[in-house]
Amino acid sequence: MAAKTKFRGSYTALVTPFKNGALDEQAFRSLVNWQIEQGTHGLVPVGTTGESPTLSHEEHHKVVEWCIEEAKGRVPVIAGAGSNSTREAVELARHAEKAGADAVLVVTPYYNKPTQEGMYQHFKAVNDAIGIPIIIYNIPPRSVVDMSVDTMSRLYELDNIAGVKDATANLGRVSQQRHAMGPDFIQLSGEDMTALAYMAAGGHGCISVVSNVAPKLCSDLMGAVFAGDYPGALKIQDRLVPLHDAVFKEPGVAGAKHGLTLLGRIQEEVRLPLMPVTEPTGKAIRAAMMHAGVIN
């Protein structure tokens, strides 16, 4: 099996800033730099948090390219390349590889409800089309299908399947997947609130929404875990819990964008069918950011 880069730590599922309905390139590039300066270990452009469902293919390509250009190899970039059309996922993955991404994040096909074999063939097609690592994104609440540990195990035999972003919120999975695929299979939590517990069970990191708003704290939490300092990590977790809650009171993208607007980093603009957060949620996010110490 091909050697696989270790993807560890706090990876930010980047929002895509908009201005008057269009991509805000300047705000996005500045966000990438700020994230790296704050200690974020890696970047994930155009995942669900990047509003990939409402970006055109041309916009999707641009965001991936800007992220790679701006990161300049300082941190790994795992480009979102998911689709419920296998042909489209292959095309997005090929583009990401050509643009210089370190890996791609490919979601289980949503809406079509494929079988385990259908999911296997979908990921195999992407695997066969590129030569960079693939992280499986397993998120049953959004995609309505749950990739079994057996299917994941079969996929791991392929050259480029490197790991999983696990958004099942089932902490038992970490141990089951570790048992089936071994400790080198990269396991990234896709759920902010349970990321610390996920790490304790053998996870390698988190692809985080909240790290858009609190990149240093999310990165410090992972640093504490890697140093074996669980009491220190728990102290950071205590600061972050209200923010994990508040950001997800309404869709996480909108919550993260509201937080970034409070920090003066982007304009609060999302694309329909998403809406900016309501006033009560906005207040909760501000209070949580104060509790975390990211604003005064």
Fold of 9-227: TIM Barrel (3.20.20)
Catalytically active residues, by annotation: 137, 165
Amino acid at 175: S
Amino acid at 257: K
Using DSSP's 3-state secondary structure scheme, residue 113 falls into coil
Q: What are the tokens at 123?
A: 């990921």
Per-residue pLDDT of the chain (296 residues; tens, 9 = 90+): 334 568 999 999 999 999 999 999 999 999 999 999 999 999 999 999 999 999 999 999 999 999 999 999 999 999 999 999 999 999 999 999 999 999 999 999 999 999 999 999 999 999 999 999 999 999 999 999 999 999 999 999 999 999 999 999 999 999 999 999 999 999 999 999 999 999 999 999 999 999 999 999 999 999 999 999 999 999 999 999 999 999 999 999 999 999 999 999 999 999 999 999 999 999 999 999 999 999 99
Known binding-site residues for pyruvate equal 49, 207
* CA dist., res. 204 & res. 113, Å (int): 29
Taking the alpha carbons of 6, 142, 33, 237 in that order, is the dihedral positive or negative?
A: negative
Helix (H) or strand (E) holding 161: strand 161-166
DSSP annotation of 109 reads: P
